[in-house]
A and B are shown apart, each in its own frame.
Chain A
Amino acid sequence: MTSWSPPDLGWSEDPIIRRMADELRSTDILNALNAGEAQHVATLCERRFLRPGEGLFTEGDQATHLYLVLRGRLNVLVRSPDGQANVVVGEVGAHSLLGEMAVLESVPRSASAVAIDSVELLQLPGEAFAQLVNAGHAAAFAILHDLQQTLTARMRSLDVRVDAVFEQSEPPPIQPTADPEPTLWHLIAQQS
């Protein structure tokens, strides 16, 4: 007699995958996923640990993964204009996404990320995320929604900083940047 196999919807008997799926669903970003959806995403993720002071990625690197922080905090840093120092521009804590912007556009990292304390995270390859988007997976909607909110808040914050600059001086107008090279967005589009 042939035993029944679950349909290929990401449902898994693997306790490691099931644990990872539970961790995904414990975050605000992915808590709307059902068990099968979360387990599907979990099969695409790898767990990673960082020691305090250890780098996750470096400004200028090619972006390969996006990350979901489970535990611990990381500093986000950019090189100072003179290139002599790394300036902390933000901090990312548990249940936050990190590194998603550069993965989405397949452009080099615009900042570095370094563990402040012991960090545990899940990393999702950029190509796997493209597959989730192409499939209209619930995780893609959830990640895009979080990204919208994050980017909107970041733009609001930047507006305040731009105001401060303009209050102090008369800088030239902000110019739009050139269209980047072919990106992951193309891959998403082509597979639709």
Chain B
Amino acid sequence: MIDASLLHNIPAFQGFDDRARLAVSAMMRLHRVDDGHVLIKQGSRAGGAFALLRGEVRVVRDLPGGRSVDIGSLEEGQLFGLLSCIDGIPRGATVVARGNALVGEVPREAMGELLQGRTTIALRFQVAVCRTLFREVRATNLRLAELAAVPDSEMQTVDLEPLDEPLEDFSGSLEPL
């Protein structure tokens, strides 16, 4: 169990009330790690999902050609290690502490309970997971677009017809209440 107040700064948990934070924190283990500590090893199925509470970690991928590349750093408040807990496939990257870091881990068994659960807490957690994954997909898509990863020769293009009707905009109703 970790101190529930540590979860206040996790953006993905912004919809959590005190009860939800307490419930999730009760499932978490706290890890204080030093520079270079490997939290996740690419190819492994070990471990759960993590929240970076303090410090910084970097993400390294071993490429099929044998080269390793540093593909970025995660900042405080980010969740990581979710994919393997959802699909059971081995980890896609290695995550290493850069300097001292404080990390909360939701063990894999607890992840299963939260991802499959039908409680209010589980629902909140599932929303947080979708939100995190959504942002990862969007960020990676943007990055790939910047890198022009799709060669012109492989592009299949289609002309768009204009929409018949303008789409309704309800964004004004989504301001915080």
Residues of A within 8 A of B (CB): 53-55, 57-58, 61-62, 64, 75, 77-78, 80-81, 85-88, 101, 104-106, 110, 112, 114, 125-127, 133, 136, 140-141, 144-145, 147-149, 151-156, 158-159, 161-167, 169-171, 173-177, 179, 182-192
Can you list 21 A-B pairs with a CB-CB distance of less than 8 A?
A: A53-B161, A57-B167, A62-B167, A64-B168, A87-B157, A104-B130, A106-B171, A114-B161, A126-B174, A144-B123, A151-B136, A152-B83, A164-B149, A166-B71, A170-B69, A174-B140, A177-B142, A179-B11, A182-B176, A185-B131, A189-B16
Residues of B close to A182: CB separation below 8 A: 174-176
A133 to B: closest C-beta gap in Å: 7
Of B115, B127, B146, B158, which contacts A188 at CB under 8 A? B127
Of B14, B74, B115, which contacts A186 at CB under 8 A? B14
B140 & A162 in contact (Cβ 8 Å cutoff): yes
Complex-state Cα separation, A14 to B40, whole angstroms: 53
Q: Number of contact residues on B: which range applies?
A: 35 or more
State the 9 A-B residue pairs at the shortest beta-carbon distance, nearest first: A189-B15, A151-B133, A85-B157, A174-B72, A173-B72, A88-B156, A190-B177, A177-B139, A144-B126
Q: Could you give, for residues 79-106 of chain B, a 1 whenever the CB lies within 8 Å of some chain A CB and a 0 otherwise?
A: 0001100110100110000000000000
